[in-house]
Structure 1
Amino acid sequence: MTQALRIAIIGGTLWGNRGAQAMLETTIGEMRQHLPQAEFGVFSYYPEKDRALLSDPTIRIFDARPLTMAAKLFPLALLYRILSFVGIRLPLPESLAFLRDCQVLCDIGGITFNDERLKYLPFNVLSILPAMLLGTPVAKLSQATGPFENPINRMVSKFLLSRCCLVVARGAITASHLKKLGINPAHTMVAADIAMLYKPDYALTTENVQQVEALLNKLTTRRQVIAVSPSVLVYKKRYEEYLHLLLDLIESAAADGREFVIFPNASRASSSKTHNNDLIALRALRRLAQQRLPQTLLSSIHWVDYDINYGSIQRIICACDLLITSRFHAMIAGLTCTTPTLVIGWSHKYQECLAGFEMESTAFDYSADTQQILQAVPAMLSHLAEFRAQLTERLPENQRSSASQFDRLKEIITWKN
């Protein structure tokens, strides 16, 4: 009897961070093209919400909340490994049994094992260690990792990453970090972000699509439209300073009757928590805008104050002439839509991705000089056609780069099967 071909995925969700949603949906969509008979199990840190949103009954959602991983998945996987040495096969719960029987676990965390994000190191470890204990190969698909200067992060990363069957660097900077760490180059490769290959057909949810459709119908005029995607992460670091900067950027571009669409790239409308919830920053920005901006400018701003999926995010950005964002996968949507994109972000993940389009000059650290950022908007608006042409020219190469990791993954799965 032929063993079922099973693929587990961790690090992505349907609810919350829509960049994680894009990577999850694209991974499933691409692997279905390569291996249409594959069964998928998603280990989610929002399992109940994801089950409620999922429109595909053939995909299983398993609980991978931090407490569940620490108190259940890891200890049971460890006990299974220990007992296997004496010939005892421990019965496992459904989630771990699925993971044990998989050909591969795909870790699609956007940024992992990073010195600046040490509080997430336990989660990074627990995301892949149970699979290793169960004997399931782990492939870390395109993501940013490192730097590894912190001794704890360096030791843990060296131990775990060297045991992965594949580690895909999202760009040259991550690749250099992995080389410095001493990871076997035979098990590493460089590939562009997974979501470079996102297609509307890959969508697994339909959140508020009618509201988005109504919004897009309002944008059918040929006045220029600028999209703004604020980040709750940067908001928590800079608060009103960040909000004032965004309003300054809007005011600097408000001439000639331009319109603006402000939307969340991570949204949990039913939650008051800030994690993976840009609606918190968006609502704070709206309150400040109502206090500060003239009514004529306020009337030109469309506020997307509700949950939207990644497909809707991409549709909004594709309808705009310029994108201003502090979110990585909003930037990816801008690049794939060939919409000129100004980034106000953090970490090397933005720079190494934009390098593939020779667009590094359009990215600024959120702590950069305000005047320097403000000057970038009129400069980009005066050269939109040139920026769009450059993005159009470089996009196919980046999409081929992204696709290469799925070719490699198919080889691994076929060999394992």
Structure 2
Amino acid sequence: MTTTVPAPRIAIIGSALSGNKGASAMLESSIATLSERIPGVRFTLFSMYPAEDRAQNEYAALDIIDARPRQLGVTINTLALLYRILPPLRPLLRARSRAIGALASSQVLLDQGGITFTDGREKFLLYNVASILPAMMLRVPVFKCAQAVGPFQNPINRWSAKRFLPRVHTLVTRGRITHEFAEALGLTNLYAGADYAFSLELDGTEQAAAAAAFDLGFFEGPEQVVGVSPSVVLQKKVEARGADYIGDVAAFIDELVASGRRVVLFPHSVRTGTEKTHNNDLPLCSRIHERLAHPEGVLFIDRELSSQTLRYLIGRCDYFVASRFHAMVSSLAMAVPTLVIGWSHKYQEVLEMFQLDEWAFGHDKLEPDFLRERFEALVAAGDEVRDRLRTHLPAVKARSLAQADLIAALVTGAEASRA
């Protein structure tokens, strides 16, 4: 009698194909690198945007399950609790619930949330916990892919982190600052890695995809091309102190054009067909574009593109100004000198890997004169910055790719014990 061994399965949460293209880059990097290492592996994405992700899913080995916040927080977590405390119900729960069935058959859950258990983001704590608790209740190992955590000074965040993070199989820290925060909390299940999106590879089709949507002649000629990637998260923080984020960014772009440069305006997180701003910078970029005095010198990426096509276009720029984290990752991965306006330690610690942390500053310092001064300083140091990027990029990519080896070892070890 022949026994059929189920294909290895990996569950994923916290990333997406649609919307935030940083989340897409992490997801697609994991699918590509793990498919190379684990023959026949299948993936299940617990998706916050299931309809949009299904529409963009071109992976035969990827299944999409509805994990919108209410579905995840109430239904999936409740069913996982029943699975844990009522063993006789387990066959029924596996058969009747796609989510429970997928989790129960997975060798690992990859949590690809970019930043979790962080002071100042307490409103996301419930989601941070709800994302990993069902797997823990089903005794499925949780592998937190490279991400930022900490600091842990807020009492509720510290309590939550101390309660749940030690129960994670592996937490890959995304840089020095996160690693120090995690060690200070007493965590030992750590691996010093780099963002999974550094492992994203281009397949050669990106130029044709970009050319089908935009005139790539914009990038030709002697003028410097500067990419700008605003962020609605940064907008809210800047406007909370009474500043005009949209006006300041528009004025900066106009100054770049007036100085003889060309500008590409990148929304790196786009949800098509909605004005909602969660994971959606397109409405913000549209308002910035409307405020421009010199729109003729600007290429506005006014639609959703794949993470690979966006990375290709970013790589065509001579300089980049980023506020979206994974727009920064793409520019660094393409060795483009980058000025970063951030709101968390997560930006600085990645730039540190390239010895370029001087080119990041916080949203509290965003003023027109300071932005202009720092950008011109970056241009003046352009050759040195490019040299540092090219020197350090292989090591950063190796740190990113190492987590694929760790995950593969975990999955194949679980498969061996199951057999």
- Normalising by structure 1, we get a TM-score of 0.93
Structure 1 counterpart of 2:330, one-letter code:
A
1:156 paired to 2:160: yes
1:36 to 28, 33, 39: 39
Q: 1:376 aligns with which of 348, 359, 374?
A: 374
Amino acid at match of 1:215: D
Aligned residue in 2 for 1:196: 198
Check if 1:304 corresponds to 2:298.
no
Q: How many residues align?
A: 405
Query: What residue in structure 2 maps to residue 222 of structure 1?
Result: 222
**More off after superposition, 117-126 vs 149-158:** 149-158
Give 1:87 deviation, angstroms: 8.3
2:73, 2:108 → 1: CA distance? 21
Displacement after TM superposition at 1:252 (Å)? 4.1
- Code of the residue aligned with 1:271 in structure 2: it is T
Q: 1:105 to 1:241 in 2, by over 3 A?
A: same
- Aligned-residue offset at 1:131: 0.7
Q: Which residue of 1 aligns with 2:237?
A: 237
Instruction: Work out the CA distance in 1 between the residues paired with 2:75 and 2:364.
Output: 41
State which of 14, 18, 23 in structure 2 corresponds to 1:15.
Answer: 18
Instruction: Give the distance between the partners of 1:310 and 1:87, measured in 2 at CA.
Output: 41
Structure 1 residues 83-123: Cα deviation after superposition (integer angstroms, max 9, x where no partner): 12x78644231221111111100001000111111111111
In the TM superposition, 1:118-133 aligns within 5 A as: 118-133=122-137
Q: Is the 8 A contact 2:218 2:299 kept in 1?
A: no
* Structure 1 residue 212 displacement after superposition: 5.8
Alpha-carbon distance in structure 2 between the residues aligned to 1:101 and 1:267 = 32
Contact 1:25 1:202 in 2 (8 A): no
> Which amino acid is 2:245 matched to?
Y
- Return the alpha-carbon distance in structure 1 between the equivalents of residues 203 and 40 of structure 2: 18
Deviation at 1:343, TM superposition (A): 0.6
Q: Distance in 1 between matches of 2:355 and 2:363?
A: 20
Q: Distance in 1 between matches of 2:41 and 2:204?
A: 15
Once residues 380 and 257 of structure 2 are traced to their aligned partners in structure 1, the CA distance between those partners, rounded to angstroms, is 14
- Note the alpha carbon deviations across 1:317-346, whole angstroms, 9 max, x for none: 100100011110000000000000011111
Distance 2:259 2:322 in 1: 22
3-state SS of paired residue (1:306): coil
TM-score scaled by structure 2?
Answer: 0.92
AA aligned to 2:148 is A
Secondary structure in structure 2 of the residue aligned to 1:116? coil
Asked if 1:267 corresponds to 2:283, the answer is no
SS for the counterpart of 1:200 is: coil
| Helix, strand or coil at the partner of 2:74 | helix
Q: Is the 8 A contact 1:80 1:90 kept in 2?
A: no
- 2:93 corresponds in structure 1 to 91
For 2:75, give the aligned amino acid: K
Structure 2 segments unaligned to the other structure (5+ residues): none
What is the CA–CA distance in structure 1 between the aligned matches of 2:281 and 2:315, rounded to whole Å? Answer: 20
Q: In 1, Cα distance between the equivalents of 2:210 and 2:196? A: 27
Contact 2:144 2:168 in 1 (8 A): yes
Preserved contact between residue 177 and residue 345 of structure 2 (Cα < 8 Å): yes
SS in structure 2 of the partner of residue 196 of structure 1 = helix
Q: Contact 1:268 / 1:276 at 8 angstroms: preserved in 2?
A: yes
Deviation at 1:173, TM superposition (A): 0.8
Q: 1-side partners of 2:180 and 2:111: how far apart?
A: 20
- 1:188, distance to aligned residue in structure 2 (A): 0.9
Q: Which runs of 5+ in 1 are unaligned?
A: none
